[in-house]
Amino acid sequence: MIEIDLTVWQFVRIMVELERRKSRSLAYKLWQGAWEELDGRLDALRAGNKMDEFSNLMMNQEVSLQAEKIHLTEAAEAAERVISVIGKTLSKTRDTKAKDELMFEQAELSEVNNRLKMIARNLPS
Protein backbone atom coordinates (compact mmCIF):
# COMPACT_ATOMS: atom_id res chain seq x y z
CA MET A 1 0.00 0.00 0.00
CA ILE A 2 1.04 3.54 -0.65
CA GLU A 3 -0.33 6.80 0.70
CA ILE A 4 -1.85 9.43 -1.58
CA ASP A 5 -3.14 12.89 -0.74
CA LEU A 6 -6.11 14.53 -2.40
CA THR A 7 -7.63 17.93 -1.78
CA VAL A 8 -10.93 17.37 0.01
CA TRP A 9 -13.12 18.60 -2.87
CA GLN A 10 -11.34 16.22 -5.27
CA PHE A 11 -11.90 13.31 -2.89
CA VAL A 12 -15.57 14.33 -2.55
CA ARG A 13 -16.06 14.39 -6.33
CA ILE A 14 -14.45 10.95 -6.73
CA MET A 15 -16.34 9.38 -3.83
CA VAL A 16 -19.71 10.75 -4.95
CA GLU A 17 -19.06 9.18 -8.35
CA LEU A 18 -18.00 5.86 -6.80
CA GLU A 19 -21.05 5.97 -4.53
CA ARG A 20 -23.38 6.32 -7.53
CA ARG A 21 -22.41 2.84 -8.73
CA LYS A 22 -24.69 0.01 -7.69
CA SER A 23 -21.81 -2.31 -6.92
CA ARG A 24 -19.32 -0.69 -4.61
CA SER A 25 -15.76 -0.61 -5.89
CA LEU A 26 -12.78 -1.73 -3.87
CA ALA A 27 -11.69 1.92 -3.61
CA TYR A 28 -15.08 2.90 -2.22
CA LYS A 29 -14.98 0.09 0.32
CA LEU A 30 -11.44 0.96 1.41
CA TRP A 31 -12.11 4.69 1.74
CA GLN A 32 -15.72 4.48 2.99
CA GLY A 33 -14.82 5.26 6.60
CA ALA A 34 -12.87 8.38 5.68
CA TRP A 35 -15.65 9.38 3.28
CA GLU A 36 -18.45 9.02 5.82
CA GLU A 37 -16.51 10.95 8.46
CA LEU A 38 -15.69 13.75 6.04
CA ASP A 39 -19.21 13.86 4.61
CA GLY A 40 -20.58 14.16 8.15
CA ARG A 41 -18.25 17.07 8.89
CA LEU A 42 -19.23 18.82 5.67
CA ASP A 43 -22.94 18.29 6.36
CA ALA A 44 -22.56 19.70 9.89
CA LEU A 45 -20.76 22.79 8.59
CA ARG A 46 -23.44 23.33 5.94
CA ALA A 47 -26.24 22.83 8.46
CA GLY A 48 -24.57 25.28 10.85
CA ASN A 49 -24.22 27.79 8.01
CA LYS A 50 -20.45 27.86 8.61
CA MET A 51 -19.63 28.47 4.98
CA ASP A 52 -16.13 29.88 5.57
CA GLU A 53 -15.15 26.73 7.47
CA PHE A 54 -16.88 24.60 4.83
CA SER A 55 -14.93 26.33 2.04
CA ASN A 56 -11.67 26.04 3.95
CA LEU A 57 -12.18 22.31 4.49
CA MET A 58 -13.16 21.69 0.86
CA MET A 59 -10.52 23.81 -0.85
CA ASN A 60 -7.53 24.06 1.50
CA GLN A 61 -7.29 20.74 3.30
CA GLU A 62 -6.25 17.30 2.15
CA VAL A 63 -7.24 13.76 2.92
CA SER A 64 -4.54 11.07 3.09
CA LEU A 65 -5.55 7.67 1.78
CA GLN A 66 -3.96 4.25 1.64
CA ALA A 67 -4.18 2.67 -1.80
CA GLU A 68 -3.01 -0.12 -4.03
CA LYS A 69 -2.97 -0.15 -7.82
CA ILE A 70 -6.62 -1.23 -8.14
CA HIS A 71 -7.83 1.60 -5.89
CA LEU A 72 -5.91 4.20 -7.88
CA THR A 73 -7.22 2.78 -11.15
CA GLU A 74 -10.82 2.89 -9.91
CA ALA A 75 -10.36 6.44 -8.61
CA ALA A 76 -8.89 7.53 -11.96
CA GLU A 77 -11.84 5.98 -13.80
CA ALA A 78 -14.25 7.81 -11.48
CA ALA A 79 -12.38 11.07 -12.08
CA GLU A 80 -12.68 10.51 -15.84
CA ARG A 81 -16.45 10.08 -15.54
CA VAL A 82 -16.70 13.29 -13.49
CA ILE A 83 -14.55 15.15 -16.03
CA SER A 84 -16.89 13.97 -18.79
CA VAL A 85 -19.99 15.15 -16.91
CA ILE A 86 -18.35 18.52 -16.26
CA GLY A 87 -17.58 18.81 -19.97
CA LYS A 88 -21.22 18.20 -20.87
CA THR A 89 -22.36 20.70 -18.25
CA LEU A 90 -19.85 23.27 -19.52
CA SER A 91 -21.26 23.07 -23.03
CA LYS A 92 -24.71 24.01 -21.70
CA THR A 93 -23.62 26.65 -19.18
CA ARG A 94 -23.92 30.32 -20.10
CA ASP A 95 -23.00 31.92 -16.76
CA THR A 96 -19.37 33.10 -16.86
CA LYS A 97 -18.67 32.51 -13.16
CA ALA A 98 -20.15 29.01 -13.30
CA LYS A 99 -18.10 28.26 -16.42
CA ASP A 100 -14.91 29.43 -14.72
CA GLU A 101 -15.61 27.21 -11.70
CA LEU A 102 -16.37 24.20 -13.88
CA MET A 103 -13.25 24.77 -15.98
CA PHE A 104 -11.18 24.94 -12.78
CA GLU A 105 -12.67 21.65 -11.53
CA GLN A 106 -12.17 19.98 -14.90
CA ALA A 107 -8.53 21.05 -15.12
CA GLU A 108 -7.75 20.06 -11.53
CA LEU A 109 -9.47 16.69 -11.85
CA SER A 110 -7.59 16.06 -15.10
CA GLU A 111 -4.34 16.61 -13.21
CA VAL A 112 -5.50 14.26 -10.43
CA ASN A 113 -6.53 11.67 -13.01
CA ASN A 114 -3.12 11.83 -14.69
CA ARG A 115 -1.32 11.62 -11.34
CA LEU A 116 -3.37 8.60 -10.22
CA LYS A 117 -2.73 6.79 -13.50
CA MET A 118 1.00 7.53 -13.37
CA ILE A 119 1.30 6.25 -9.80
CA ALA A 120 -0.79 3.16 -10.64
CA ARG A 121 1.40 2.36 -13.66
CA ASN A 122 4.43 2.22 -11.40
CA LEU A 123 2.88 -0.13 -8.84
CA PRO A 124 2.84 -3.91 -9.02
CA SER A 125 -0.51 -5.53 -9.82
The tens place of each residue's pLDDT in the chain, 125 residues long, gives: 999 999 999 999 999 999 998 788 999 999 999 999 999 999 999 999 999 999 999 999 999 999 999 999 999 999 999 999 999 999 999 999 999 999 999 999 999 999 999 999 999 87
Range of the domain at 69: 2-121
CA–centroid distance for 45 within its chain: 19
Q: What are the distances in angstroms from CA 40 to CA 33, 44, 45, 63, 74?
A: 11, 6, 9, 14, 23
**Rg of the chain in Å (alpha carbons):** 15
- Does the pTM of the predicted model rise above 0.85? yes
Q: Give the model's pLDDT for residue 95.
A: 94
pLDDT on residue 124: 86
When divided into structural domains, the chain yields a total of 1
pLDDT score, position 114: 98
Tally of CB atoms within 10 A around 53: 15
Q: What is the pLDDT of residue 12?
A: 98
